[in-house]
Amino acid sequence: MFPMLNSFLFLTLVLLSTVFSVKNFRSGYSRAGRIALLAAAISVVVFSLLYKWEAFHFFLPAICLLLFLISFIPLPKVSEDLKKEETEFDERDIVFSRYRLKPGTENYLSYYGKKPEKEVPDAATRALPGLLSKQSRFYHRFNAAAADASFFLLHHLRDSVDGEVREKTGGHTPEQIGNYLRSLLEHYGVSCYGTALMKPDNYYSHTGRGQGTYGDEISTDHKFAIVLGSEMKPRFTATAPLSPEVVETGSRYVDSAVWAVQTASFIRDLGYSARAHIDGNYQVITPLVAHDAGLGGFGWSSLFLTEEFGPRVRFSVVTTDLDVSALPVKQQTSFLSFCNICRKCAINCPSRAINPDKLEKVNTDRCFKYWNSVGTDCGKCMAVCPMGHPWGVLKSFALRSYIAGWLLKKLDDIFYGRKPGSLRIPQWMGNK
């Protein structure tokens, strides 16, 4: 019985290594692909050499049994209180809104009159070359134009986030609409989606950069939300902080914005109020809504992570008065216990915006300053995150079991590197 069990386990190991290798090559992680292939080859050699040795047949089953038994030891819990530190978020305080303030204008004077400590550091950030700027360190003529094209489109989509609500006809129930909507979202090709009940503190308190007048109070009328995510492709995110990363960011923001604008329009057509919240024009704090929709949780990097894609997702939201509670609300996931033993984002952050020693919010001022000097949105914390790598079901175990978490961290360091460099710019992009 043991030789058979041993053969089965070895074959499974070889098969999984090969599948993992193919997955990695296809995603652009050639280093991980090569290591997985090598692991598969070594397994075959070891198996052939040791097959005749009787004691060997107990070896692998014994290791598997041991791993199974100790896998019940849970990861020590880490408090999830980070996101609750503030109960009200004013969009005027975020780095993007502050960056747009023009010295001498009424908004500038009123903002820095209240927050004088931010004036000097913000002026220093404004003096840097800026995102996609020709003077920035990682400037790439074609990629800057490609990213700009996405932000151009997003800018114009801002006028389509809301519109006229049609009369309700046909007597359809919210449940029937919700069922249709679920298939419609899949038809659009949405990578992940979820629904949430809106809480007042999921909205910004005042407008800072989106549609409407600067400083206007934001209405919190809509009670429901649909969150739509678009997966960022690893071949591009792994080039972070080089320019392909920002091309991918822009493109995926466009996907999720288009889906959100379409979804909001679809809902309004059926007689319910709905507004899309898209990049540059959010009235909601998207990660908080995504969290309430059960799409994932916050990582050490302060980024929002999903179990499937880690931080490699760009979100839009639709808020509405259509009761979408019939759509599935997923179970929330906690990542921080695994993060506590990982901290890879912090040790790889080029601007030291993430504290490696203590769990606290990312220093967005430092991070944004770095973006404005290199000209891209960096994304190194996203690129190195093990939760964004194609570990499949092992990620689920790693979030719950101490041994699986420890194993994943070690394996991730071996396959992808503890401090990996940036992947080469894809050949078709050239070196412009």
In the complex, what is the shortest distance from the CB of residue 353 to ligand SF4, in angstroms, rounded to a whole number?
4
Select from 390, 376, 345 the least CA-distant residue to 240.
376
Tokens of 344: 């890879």
Contact between 322 and ligand SF4 per CB under 6 A: no
Q: Between 285 and 399, name the residue whose CB sits nearer to ligand SF4.
A: 399
Helix, strand, coil content of the chain in percent (nearest 5)? 50, 10, 40
Residues 6+ positions from 138 with CB-CB distance below 8 Å: 241, 242, 243, 374, 375, 376
Secondary structure element (H or E) that encloses residue 119, with its range: helix 119-126
Contact between 232 and ligand SF4 per CB under 6 A: no
Out of 244, 299, 375, 390, which residue is the one contacting ligand SF4 (CB under 6 A)?
299
Q: Which stretch binds ligand SF4 (CB under 6 A): 12-20, 63-71, 274-282, 346-354?
A: 346-354
- The alpha-helical segments, DSSP class H, found in 350-401 are 364-374, 380-384, 393-398
Contact between 400 and ligand SF4 per CB under 6 A: no
Out of 287, 379, 390, 405, which residue is the one contacting ligand SF4 (CB under 6 A)?
379
Out of 378, 394, 399, 408, which residue is the one contacting ligand SF4 (CB under 6 A)?
378
Out of 132, 227, 367, 394, which residue is the one contacting ligand SF4 (CB under 6 A)?
367
Q: Which stretch binds ligand SF4 (CB under 6 A): 10-18, 44-52, 70-78, 342-350?
A: 342-350
Residues in contact with ligand SF4, counted by CB under 6 A, come to a total of: 26
Contact, 247 vs 147, CB < 8 A? yes
Contact between 194 and ligand SF4 per CB under 6 A: no
Measure the CA–CA gap between 333 and 335, rounded to whole angstroms: 6
Q: Which residues pair with 217 in a beta bridge?
A: 206
Q: Between 214 and 368, name the residue whose CB sits nearer to ligand SF4.
A: 368
Out of 193, 203, 309, 338, which residue is the one contacting ligand SF4 (CB under 6 A)?
338
Contact, 192 vs 294, CB < 8 A? no
Select from 159, 192, 189, 151 the least CA-distant residue to 261.
159
Contact between 128 and ligand SF4 per CB under 6 A: no
Q: Between 222 and 395, name the residue whose CB sits nearer to ligand SF4.
A: 395
319 — phi, psi (to 5°)?
Answer: -100, 150
By CB under 6 A, what part of segment 238-257 binds ligand SF4? none
Contact, 296 vs 330, CB < 8 A? no
By beta carbon distance, the residue nearest ligand SF4 is: 299
Going by the DSSP 8-state scheme, the letter that residue 75 receives in this structure is P
Out of 324, 362, 404, 425, which residue is the one contacting ligand SF4 (CB under 6 A)?
362
Q: Which stretch binds ligand SF4 (CB under 6 A): 111-119, 216-224, 257-265, 344-352?
A: 344-352
Helices 243-269 and 141-157: angle between axes, nearest 10 degrees: 20
Out of 252, 312, 344, 395, which residue is the one contacting ligand SF4 (CB under 6 A)?
344
Q: Which stretch binds ligand SF4 (CB under 6 A): 73-81, 127-135, 178-186, 381-389?
A: 381-389
Measure the CA–CA gap between 106 and 201, rounded to whole angstroms: 27
Give me the numbers of helices (H) and strands (E) for the chain, helices first please: 17, 6
Q: Between 92 and 380, name the residue whose CB sits nearer to ligand SF4.
A: 380
Q: Per-residue string for binding with ligand SF4, 300-319, x by CB under 6 A?
A: xx------------------
Where along the sequence are the contacts to ligand SF4 (CB under 6 A)? 299-301, 335, 338-339, 342-345, 349-351, 353-354, 362, 367, 370, 378-381, 384-387
